[in-house]
Amino acid sequence: MSTIWECGLYMSSGTFLVAEDSGALVGCVYIETRGNRSYLGLLSVQPESQGAGLGRRLVAAAENFGRESGSQIMDLRIISARQEQLSPFYQRLGYCLIRTEPFPANSVIKIPSHFILLSKSLI
């Protein structure tokens, strides 16, 4: 069973929660609190550890962090090119599609893409 640690102060704007298993880093998630909303990003589980519930645990830990920071809603965004893989995952964890947003005008992109915003109530 992996242990999830809180690693603050890596970035001035937010916090990384990292998952450790037998001394090895196996996953992470970034969380940024913005008043009554929090933002979740950079969720990642190493390939060998995927499919065993760690992604779900990291998202739950980020949601608890947001709740304890006073947030009522968790926001996240995925890129449209990965919608097929990621939308079912997040919807399974209770996230709903809110809207789409274009990439910033100066973005360098290889294929036409946009952001898809998803949110979940934390109360």
Ligand X SMILES: CC(C)(COP(=O)(O)OP(=O)(O)OC[C@H]1O[C@@H](n2cnc3c(N)ncnc32)[C@H](O)[C@@H]1OP(=O)(O)O)[C@@H](O)C(=O)NCCC(=O)NCCS
Minimum separation from the CB atom of position 36 to ligand X (A): 22
Considering the complex, state which of residue 35 and residue 82 has its C-beta at the smaller distance from ligand X.
Answer: 82
Residues facing residue 30 across a β-bridge: 16, 41
Give the bridge partners for 77, in sequence order.
Answer: 117
Q: In sequence order, what are the residues at sequence separation of 6 or more whose Cβ sits closer than 8 angstroms to the Cβ of residue 25?
A: 18, 19, 46
In the bound complex, what is the minimum distance in angstroms from residue 106's beta carbon to ligand X? 22
Cβ-closest residue to ligand X? Answer: 55
| Least gap, CB of 51 to ligand X (angstroms) | 5
| Nearer CB in complex with ligand X: 27/71 | 27
Angstrom distance (rounded) from CA 57 to CA 20: 12
Nearest approach in angstroms of CB 9 to ligand X is: 23
Distance set, CA 20 to CA 14, 25, 41 (Å): 19, 5, 18
The DSSP symbol for 81 reads G
Query: Which residue number, 4 or 70, has a Cβ lying nearer to ligand X?
Result: 4
**Binding residues vs ligand X (CB under 6 A):** 43-45, 50-56, 78, 85-86, 88-89, 92
C-beta of 92 vs 110, nearer to ligand X: 92
- In three-state secondary structure terms, 1 is coil
